[in-house]
Amino acid sequence: MSIQIIPTATAAENALADAFREAKASLPGTASVAEQRAQAFEAFARAGLPNRRIEAWHYTDLRNLMRRALPLAPIPSQAQIAKLSAEALKLPSPRLVLVDGVFAPELSGPLPAGVTVTSLAAALAQGEPALIEGLAAAWAEADDAMVSLNAALMQDGLVIDVAPGTTLEAPLHIVYATVASEPAARFSRSLVRVGTGATFRLNEMSLGQGGRVGQTNNVLIFEVGDDANVAHSLSLTGTEPASLRLETFLVKIGAKAQFDSFALITGAGLVRRQIYKLFNGADAKASLRGVSLLRGREHADTTLFVRHAATGCEGRQNFRYILDDEAVGVFQGKIVVDRIAQKTDGRMLAKALVLSDEATMNSRPELEIFADDVACGHGATIGGLSEDQLFYLQSRGLPANEAEALLLEAFAAELVDEIGDEDLIAAYRADVAAWLAGRAGA
């Protein structure tokens, strides 16, 4: 006789099942999309919320951390969207605004030549087969319960197409705005297809999240064509301590393409960023960078899965954390080099400055190499500020607190300065400075 232990569903898991049952008839999409949603939810329900026994979620036990599931955010009304128009005018452009996960064309624009945008809801309703297949493949590849949940519940998002050969000077901004008055959950999924040889920069930012508790599950899929040059940045700032934010980033990189991505995480309750990066064309270069500045009881997890499935690609992964108070930082990075991916050059580095005895950093880099002619390496450091650097600055006249602030700012700014766009560098540096200013009183 064998005994099978089936764990009881948690309150949050039950609430998610109820939410899906109630919402599925009204979620956008054709009959085949509805079928995919049902399969995706089944996959989620089988796995349940990820817990510490799932290797990729070992340090972010969502089953334990996510005590309740918030109801789905209602579709924002025209009046709610109109209220944002004055604020939207101050935002950088060209921009695409999502209000509670729903694309708001009236707040967006002007679209540069060579770029077409549709809302995901409209695309799902039209049932474009290639798009639907692409989205299905994405969640299957990720094989992650929370990505499956997103595939089941995705409300809206963007489908951005950049025509081959397009060169955009200014970055395109995606702005996430929030209007729901009650704590709510949002599921958005966006797809960015960058054509062969195009040059494109995308920046993601948030507006008006302050004071609102929310649970966000966003998926962003990038398909980078051959010879394209793509830069991406994400500012993940200013949510309430009780908030939960899951960001999944799936990137496929074509031959000889260049891809560069930076993310800043500050002032966010519980954040999990998971990045799936696939090199599937030869001789591409891609770099992922991130800075997490955490205090209080904030928890930020960045987990990478990098797969080299083509020859001669260069991958750079560079992540930094500053942890104060009782904050928890998590970095997991796995680089897999397929047998065919000879001449791979892959590097990964995670550095953490831990400023308090109660703060925790969990760092786990991994390499799995099946090719024999590669140059791969990884490193992880966890420590405090260098006493030698502090003394050097103090001996030149800087008081201890100013010396410390200067070193912390430099630690974060080193990666910010590699963004490659002056306006964005200034904006992200300002976010870093604001975080440090909040620390000075401590």
Partner 1 sequence: MLEVKNLSVSIGDREILKDLNLTVADGEVAAIMGPNGSGKSTLSYVIAGKPDYEVTSGEVLLDGENVLDLSPDERAAKGLFLAFQYPVEIPGVTTMTFLKATLNAIRRQRGEPELSIPDFMKRVNASAAKLDIKSDLLKRAVNVGFSGGEKKRMDIFQMAFLEPRFAILDETDSGLDIDALRIVADGVNALRTKTRSFLVITHYQRLLEYIVPDKVHVMAGGRIVRSGGKELALELEKNGYRDYVEAEVA
**Strand, helix or coil at 25?**
coil
Q: Which one of residues 5, 387, 422, 441 is an interface residue with partner 1 (CB under 8 A)?
A: 387
* Closer CB to partner 1, 278 or 323, in the complex: 323
**Strand, helix or coil at 298?**
coil
CB of 29 to partner 1, least distance (A): 47
Contact 61, 52 (CB under 8 A): yes
* Closer CB to partner 1, 191 or 412, in the complex: 412
Q: Which residues contact 18 (CB under 8 A, 6 or more apart)?
A: none
Q: Which one of residues 167, 399, 420, 423 is an interface residue with partner 1 (CB under 8 A)?
A: 399
* Closer CB to partner 1, 275 or 412, in the complex: 412
Q: Which residue stretch of 33-41, 161-169, 259-267, 400-408 sits at the interface with partner 1 (rule: CB under 8 A)?
A: 400-408
Can residue 422 be called a binding residue for partner 1 (CB under 8 A)?
no
Write the Ramachandran bin of 48: left for phi over 0, alpha for psi from -120 to 50, otherwise beta.
left
Q: Which residues contact 143 (CB under 8 A, 6 or more apart)?
A: none
Q: 284-299 in b/e burial notation, b at 16+ Cβ within 10 A?
A: bbbbbbbbbbbbeebb
Can residue 61 be called a binding residue for partner 1 (CB under 8 A)?
no
* Closer CB to partner 1, 55 or 417, in the complex: 417
Can residue 396 be called a binding residue for partner 1 (CB under 8 A)?
yes
* Closer CB to partner 1, 278 or 412, in the complex: 412
DSSP string, 87-132: HHHTS-SSEEEEETTEE-GGG-BPPPTTEEEEEHHHHHHHT-HHHH
Phi, psi (degrees; rounded to nearest 5) at 148: -60, -45
Q: Which one of residues 140, 406, 425, 433 is an interface residue with partner 1 (CB under 8 A)?
A: 406
Find how far residue 40's CA is from the centre of its chain: 21
Size of the site for partner 1 (CB under 8 A): 24
CB of 376 to partner 1, least distance (A): 24
Q: Which one of residues 7, 129, 211, 397 is an interface residue with partner 1 (CB under 8 A)?
A: 397
Can residue 441 be called a binding residue for partner 1 (CB under 8 A)?
no
Rg over alpha carbons for the chain, rounded to the nearest Å, is: 22
Q: Which spans of this chain sit near partner 1 (rule: CB under 8 A)?
A: 386-389, 391-400, 402-403, 406-407, 409-411, 413-414, 417
